[in-house]
Structure 1
Amino acid sequence: MKPEYICIGLPKAGTSWLYNVLKRHNDVYVPPVKEISYFSNKGFLYKKNIWAFFFHKDWYNVKKREYFKQFINSIKPYRNKNLSRKDQIWILKYCFLPQNDFWYRKLFSESKTKISIDISPVYSFLDEEEIESISKRFPKTSIILILRDPVERAWSHFKMDYLIGTNNKSESFSEDEIKAYYNRQPDNNKLISKWLKHYSSDRFKILQYEELQHNPESFYKSVCNIMQINPDGINRAYHDVINTISNKGHKLDIPDNHKRILIDIYGKNKE
């Protein structure tokens, strides 16, 4: 049953690297866009109309517009054809067809002879009811989770959401705002506990982001071992991508007030 694997994150824990590497593997199919986020979209299904697609500012429709923009750019004259015809059709299906489990499985229909994976780190925010539902609707799909030091990961996520590419300063946020943001982030222990209630250990595999940081080749082999694919399945011409960290964050030390809050929240539960 497609997909064979779902990577649920964590956010800011190497999922972009994973996508960029696996899309170059001969035995793996990943969609032409990284994050499908199907299981996190139920709050937006009532907005399934053209007006919502083009004008609503919720994260789900914003993401779909970004993918549709890729499609438009790919068909403009004199532009680089960065999407194949199959990928163009895929994006149209993703953006405009009714979204249900049949639709979701069809997004992987090109992978008949390949192992397929959905890499959507937003799934790490799913509640237990939805996790149970996924386990029943996709009983043969296995889960991959990439953990990262919770303090480092939460700060990296905060930078991405509020600081990088803006004029914001970390000190412009109140302590209550900072606490509220970090308290919404996944807790490693609670996250694992939720998923293991509905997935056996042979279908729920954990990787460590720190291994990717220090030894990408070793991390890559760990991924291949979990997915039962040949590490040599990547063409030598693309092999350098394994040692390239995607979306490398801007170097910005954790301010003291953030560090204090983060240690208070996560310090006793660090993985």
Structure 2
Amino acid sequence: MKQLPHFLCIGAQKAGTSWLFEQLRQHPDIWLPPVKELHYFDHLFCQSTRSWSRWHIKQCISNVLRNYANNTKQLDFSYVRYLTDIASEPMFSEVWYEAIFQRPGAQGKIIGDITPKYCAIGPEGIRYVKQLLGPVKLIWIIRDPVARALSQLRMETEKRRMKSEISVAEWLELAASDDVLCRGAYLDYIPQWLAEFDKDAILFIPFKHIATQPKQVLTTVEAFIGVSHYEHYSAPEKKS
């Protein structure tokens, strides 16, 4: 029987999803893929993703392989092959996505995919999520749209500065881009998801709670996705 995600974290970018990924991957009853942000659904349904999604996967897998080689005394070559397959064509097919979750370590565990761009995949994409994954649980971290956009702008500006100096005109163009503006468009996206999923299938988490009550956030997520409480998360107070 195929193993597929039981839950998705669909948003928002720059709203603590990296923190959630790092915490949940420590839980013994949860399995997450080696790459945060697989971008499968948004690659299919958001044209803007397609210009960089392959590069993203290859770069992430390269980093995972490097860390694995540097920190493992005896390499598991089946795992190395599994990682290289993720970064190999054909990518972003249904077969490719399903294969990512067919790992022995995922058997009997609650499986997740944390990709905040999924919130923007639109009605057709949402219907496909429901068709492929069935009664999947959805986690959505909500952050003030202005603060979220400013955080994304800082991240994108730093990325561009690594290549060259960014001009004022380029910064203004970036600030007005759909990729920055749309990710905080909750009034547009939330009704689209509620049209296909019952409200009880979506857990909305205020971003500020990650800073003020991180342990309670994790307890809430555990109950929502159906795993037992875990007491030994490392650095739950740190958000990223």
Where does residue 80 of structure 1 map in the other structure?
71
**Counterpart pick for 1:23 among 22, 25, 29:** 25
State the Cα distance separating 1:169 from its structure 2 match. Answer: 6.7
Q: How big is the shift at 1:90?
A: 2.8
Shift of 1:217: 1.1
Q: Is the 8 A contact 2:137 2:225 kept in 1?
A: no
Equivalent in the alignment of 2:140:
145
Q: Distance in 2 between matches of 1:213 and 1:81?
A: 33
User: Which of 1 and 2 has greater Rg?
Assistant: 1
Separation (CA, whole Å) in 2 of partners of 1:65 and 1:73: 12
Q: 1:175 to 1:65 in 2, by over 3 A?
A: closer
Q: Give the SS at the match of 1:18.
A: helix
Tell me which residue corresponds to 2:39.
37
Whole-Å Cα distance in 2 between the matches of residues 208 and 83 of structure 1?
42
CA distance in 1, matches of 2:16, 2:61: 25
Residue 61 (1) aligns with residue 54 (2) = yes
Same amino acid, percent of matched pairs: 23
| Residue 178 of structure 2 corresponds to residue 185 of structure 1 | no
In the alignment, is the contact (CA less than 8 A) between 1:44 and 1:60 conserved in 2?
A: no
What secondary structure sits across from 1:213 in the alignment?
Answer: helix
- Which residue is equivalent to 1:89? 81
1:104-183 alignment, distance < 5 Å: 104-110=97-103, 111-163=106-158, 166=161, 171=168, 173=170, 178-181=175-178, 182-183=180-181
Shift, 1:84, TM fit: 6.2
Tell me how far apart the structure 2 counterparts of residues 169 and 97 of structure 1 sit (CA, whole Å): 33
* Superposition deviation, residue 191 in structure 1: 1.2
1:241 alignment counterpart: 235
Q: 2-side partners of 1:4 and 1:154: how far apart?
A: 29
Q: 1:155 to 1:87 in 2, by over 3 A?
A: farther
Please, which moves more after superposition, 176-185 or 114-123? 176-185
Rounded Cα–Cα distance in structure 1 between residues aligned with 2:45 and 2:195: 24
Q: 1:145 is paired with a residue of what secondary structure?
A: strand
Match of 2:199 in 1: 201
Match of 1:51 in 2: none
Please say if residues 163 and 170 of structure 1, whose CA atoms lie closer than 8 Å, have aligned partners that are also in contact: no
Gaps of 5+ in 2: none
- Structure 2 vs 1, CA of residues 147 and 82 (structure 1 numbering), >3 Å: closer, same or farther? farther
What is the deviation of 1:180?
Answer: 3.5
Question: Given that residues 46 and 120 in structure 2 are in contact (C-alpha distance below 8 angstroms), is that contact kept between their aligned partners in structure 1?
Answer: no
Structure 2 distance, partners of 1:42, 1:135, is 15
Runs of 4+ in 1 over 4 A off after TM superposition: 167-177
| 1:65 maps to amino acid | K
CA RMSD for the aligned pairs?
2.9
Distance 2:198 2:74 in 1: 38
1:6 and 2:8 correspond: yes
Instruction: Give the TM-score of the pair, scaled to structure 1.
Output: 0.74
Q: Which amino acid in structure 2 is aligned with residue 241 of structure 1?
A: A
SS in structure 2 of the partner of residue 69 of structure 1: helix
